[in-house]
Chain A
Amino acid sequence: MVDDARGEVSLRVNGTAHRLEVDNRRTLLDALRDSIGHTGPKKGCDRGQCGACTVLVDGRRVVSCLMLAVAADGCEITTVEGLAGGGELSPIQQAFVRLDGFQCGYCTAGQLCSAVGMLAEHAAGWPSAVTADVSPDLAAPRLDAAEVRERMSGNLCRCGAYPSIVRAVLETAARGQVAG
């Protein structure tokens, strides 16, 4: 038995501050879903392999199932619920709707958060595993279908909506609407 197996956590989720007392074993995903009530992030594999739980932590995409809630203390979290603003879907959400970027929808919250993070990474000039030359002295890699597939490979879709997801991400990127 561990005597200090619980901790206090402050999280700012989609702009709202939350203070929670959690078991140290609680993942950020479970804290978001069960303690705060944001059920957008989904528990697919719970092992960091499917990406359905993807959220943005301090602006970067992560899998919330492998982050302990206590380790996220003080962080700014954005879930899929926080992507839309002022009653209007964000550009990436609109593109997913317009281009059929999903079928059953289970992976969609993770796909959307991942796409927002990934577009920001690309805009910052980050190369990927399919970028032919990683030299920083060349122009940033052009975002094409191969780049999107590689950069989004941490998000699985069992319905196989990949072609439409790739189109939705490319269209959003082409419109320069990186902020999601």
Chain B
Amino acid sequence: MKEFAYRRATGVRDALALVAADPGARYLAGGTNLVDLMKVEVEAPTRLVDVRHLPLGGVGEAPDGGLVIGATTTNSDAAADPRVRRRFPALSQAILAGASGQLRNMATVGGNLLQRTRCAYFADPAAPCNKRVPGSGCPAVAREHHNHAVLGWSEQCVATHASDMAVALAAFDAVVRYESPGGAGEIPLAEFYLPVGRTPHLETALPPGALITAVALPGAAASPRSRYRKVRERASYAFATVSVAASLDVHDGAVRDVRIALGGVASKPWRARVAESALRGGPATAERFRAAAAEELSAARPLRDNGYKVTLARNLIAAVLSELV
């Protein structure tokens, strides 16, 4: 690990100023991903500004009936919150499906959004990786990619986004709030992660030096009939091969509203808007669910060894929707 300076920020302004003053500075919250990557020197900040103790934790009510989850709320506390479990159960399930009990006690909601891909080439400083060293190449396209992306990837990068939580947030149209040297702002989750394109090293739409302060869940998206299902290579404590967050509102046998997001298939949580439009207003039948899932996945471009994810995603969408009827 490279040497670094450490400071515990005394407030949001203080944190912003400390990071703005040092181009090598990074915010530290739970550290479960950042410290891990620092050990292998994929991350080598010159200064850590600890924001864990800032008053940005806790879950609060929003005027629209939604919830505001503070950025330093631990994954554990967010998942255990009764209001999250009652109104956005798929979010609670998604968080609980990620990592281990110990890691969820450390990791924060803000940090979870900014975690890096678990692509093995990204984590290996000896390997080329366009995300880590722009222009160095991407070995995954030709070599090991059985758990890589099937949607939205580019020749420059086929890595997936690792978060479970963000998949549920995408389904619920969450909004990321931040403070930055240029002022406060917010970004809908759908626009938070940048398309890979030719710049896989640019991952989010956050302005430079910005600090995530909260994630807002709109009241209109609240759905007790929502669910997160994750398929992985072992029963627990593994990243997703494919996951689905979905909510379904059926009235008189017809789909009044539906929200579907996929994890493990792209560089960001993949909102399945094609499937959603195919389903809205139509009959809530298993046959329609399968057809809509197939339509969504028709855009998939599997690599040599990850075509199974296309089948898996189709089946998982149809299965989760059927469970929600």
Contacts and interface: CB of A to CB of B under 8 A. Distances in A.
Interface stretch (B30-38, B205-213, B265-273, B291-299): B30-38
B85 A136 contact: yes
B1 A25 contact: yes
A129 B97 contact: yes
Interface string B22-53: 00000010011001100100000011101010
A21 interface: no
Give the size category of B's interface with A. Answer: 35 or more
A71 B102 contact: no
Given A66-B32, A70-B6, A134 B92 contact: yes
A25 B2 CA distance: 8
Contacts of A114: 101-102
Contacts of A67: 31, 35, 106
Interface string A114-154: 10011001001111110101111100000000000111111
Contacts of B39: 46-47
A124 B80 contact: yes
A5 B100 contact: no
A29 B85 CA distance: 34
A78 interface: no
A125 B5 contact: no
B237 A153 contact: yes
Interface in B158-174: none
Query: Secondary structure of the A side of the interface?
Result: loop
Interface string A84-111: 0000000000000000000000000000
Contacts of B32: 48, 63, 66
Given A63-B32, A121-B76, 18 more contacts: A2-B4, A7-B6, A23-B3, A24-B6, A25-B3, A47-B36, A63-B100, A63-B102, A67-B35, A68-B31, A71-B52, A121-B101, A127-B80, A129-B230, A129-B236, A131-B96, A134-B96, A154-B103
22 contacts: A2-B5, A5-B5, A7-B6, A24-B3, A24-B4, A25-B1, A48-B103, A60-B76, A60-B105, A63-B100, A67-B31, A71-B6, A114-B101, A118-B101, A121-B101, A126-B80, A127-B79, A129-B230, A133-B89, A134-B92, A152-B101, A153-B101
The 8 closest A-B pairs by CB, nearest first: A154-B100, A136-B82, A153-B236, A153-B237, A5-B3, A2-B3, A129-B96, A24-B6
